[in-house]
Chain A
Amino acid sequence: MNRRSLLLALAALPAAEPALAQDSSAAGSAKHLTPPQAAAFGKALEKDLATRGGRVAMVFRSGRARRSMPEGLSYTHGAFWVYRDIKTDGGQLKGYAVYNLYQGDGKALPKDRSSLVQDWPTNFMQGSVEDDVAVILPTPEMQRRLLAVIDSPTYAAMHIPSYGLVANPFESRHQNCNTFVLDIVACAAWQTNDPDQVRVNLRKWFKPSVIKVDPLTRLIGPMLDGRLAVDDQDGPIVTAAYESIAPFMADNALSATSYSFQRPG
């Protein structure tokens, strides 16, 4: 980058600020809910899902404060909540297990890589910085198909370890939690385990979320952080989010309902 570009970049950054509306709340994000509050939030949603007879749901939390989210997006991390028999040290219980794609922590796994991890509702809620989550409850048949995929080798086979914060759902280069959720939904909807067929189908039927980013940010971001990779984007930056997955499922009769669930007072 030459001197002129640097000056242009410096000049452009303040202009970008209002659109980006970032803040420094990320460091405190995990402390929004105390462990008991996160546990109560998780248990309340478990009971809501159970009352609805939901065996498989997709739940989305806000891991960033709303005011720092890209325009039009309210939720960040999505995962499957699956009704399970849970083996404990003392016996067996019934409740929900959470199936996530997590990016690396930078220690055991580089931050630009991801792994599939099963944990529990309390873990999920501890990452929320808001007092609501979004839920998509698939139709009964889609729940049946999703469970079949989650419990099959297809689930792990659809994982793309290269992590991208704005992974393109139409490409197989990077993946994040939400594009992974979408891929599994696609496998269930079309009853396929062929990643290429999934891409072709999504290109035809899925309308992605568009992330508005100025050219400078788009240019510099990926140079500084591997998670900001945009080498799978050939136009506007597109990815998957609750705001695009929910309409896709509703429009194609894959979901019974979607709703916001508030943390009980």
Chain B
Amino acid sequence: MRLAILPITALIFAAPALAQADSVTNYSTASDQSAQAVSAFAEAGVKTVAGVVALPLMVAAGGSAAVGSTAQGVGDSSMALADGTSQAGSDAADFSGQPLTVTDRVVLAPQPAPVVPYEVQKPK
């Protein structure tokens, strides 16, 4: 039993020391808080909108490359663009530092498909 306690104890101490990065996805967090979040946004008067996709520059400018949907694995859409296209896209943008406009609406990603047990559960 003591053999088991040591690794657990050691991990408790080791993880924070080594845990420099926290590249943890927020999906689980978002799911846990989903019910509260929806009502909280509404109660706070936050205007939200579902972001379908962030468009690479050439696509936004009227190009024809097809892109995916929702919060996607990056690379899916960009892989569809040739190097030259991407370069041209960045060349077309204005990098002069002039102020940019930003929507006042809060863009949200659709949450994962719902997972609801068939049988009645005890409320949390």
Query: With a CB–CB cut-off of 8 A, which chain B residues contact A34?
Result: 36, 40
User: Does B122 touch A at the CB level, under 8 Å?
Assistant: no
- Is residue B119 within 8 Å, beta carbon to beta carbon, of the partner chain? no
- CA A217 to CA B7, docked complex, whole Å: 10
> A43: which B residues are within 8 A, CB to CB?
102, 104, 106
A17, A83, A148, A212: the one contacting B87 at CB < 8 Å is A148
Stretch of A49-57, A198-206, A245-253 contacting B (4+ beta carbons < 8 Å): A49-57
With contact pairs A22-B13, A102-B25, A120-B109 given, residues A144 and B93 touching in the complex (Cβ less than 8 Å) = yes
On chain A, the residues within 8 Å of B32 by CB distance are: 30
Verify B21–A177 contact, CB threshold 8 A: yes
Q: A15-36: which residues lie under 8 A (CB-CB) from chain B? A: 16-17, 19-23, 30-31, 34-36
- Quick one: given A39-B106, A52-B97, are A20 and B89 in contact (CB under 8 Å)? no
Q: Chain B nearest CB: distance from A164 CB in Å?
A: 8
Q: Is the beta-carbon distance between B30 and A126 smaller than 8 angstroms?
A: yes
Say if the beta carbon of B23 comes within 8 Å of chain A.
Answer: yes
Instruction: Tell me the chain B residues, 48-106 only, with Cβ under 8 Å from chain A.
Output: 48-58, 60, 71-75, 78-79, 81, 83, 85-87, 89-91, 93, 95-106
CA distance A114 to B22 in the complex (A): 11
From A22, A68, A122, B106 is in contact (CB under 8 Å) with A122
CB within 8 Å of B: which A153-199 residues: 153-156, 159, 163, 165-167, 176-178
Interchain CB contact under 8 A, A96 and B9: no
46-75 of chain A: CB within 8 A of chain B: 46-47, 49-55, 63-64, 68-70, 73
Known contacts A55-B95, A118-B54, A217-B17: A35-B37 contact under CB 8 Å: yes
B101: chain A residues at CB < 8 Å are 50, 94
| A119 touching B60, Cβ below 8 Å | no
Interface size class of A (residues with CB under 8 A): 35 or more
Please give me the residue from chain A that is nearest to B78 by CB atom: A151
Q: Are B99 and A213 in contact (CB under 8 A)?
A: no
- Closest CB in chain A relative to B24 CB, distance in Å: 6
Binary interface profile of A, 109-144, with partner B (CB < 8 Å = 1, else 0)?
000001111111111101100000000000011011
- Pairwise interchain contact A95-B16, C-beta atoms closer than 8 A: no
In the bound complex, how far is the Cα of B102 from the Cα of A118, in angstroms? 18
Chain B nearest CB: distance from A139 CB in Å? 9
5 A-B pairs with the lowest CB-CB distances in the bound complex, closest first: A156-B75, A63-B22, A97-B54, A221-B14, A22-B16
Residue contacts A-B, CB under 8 angstroms, 10 given: A50-B102, A70-B18, A88-B52, A93-B107, A124-B26, A126-B29, A213-B14, A216-B10, A217-B17, A228-B15
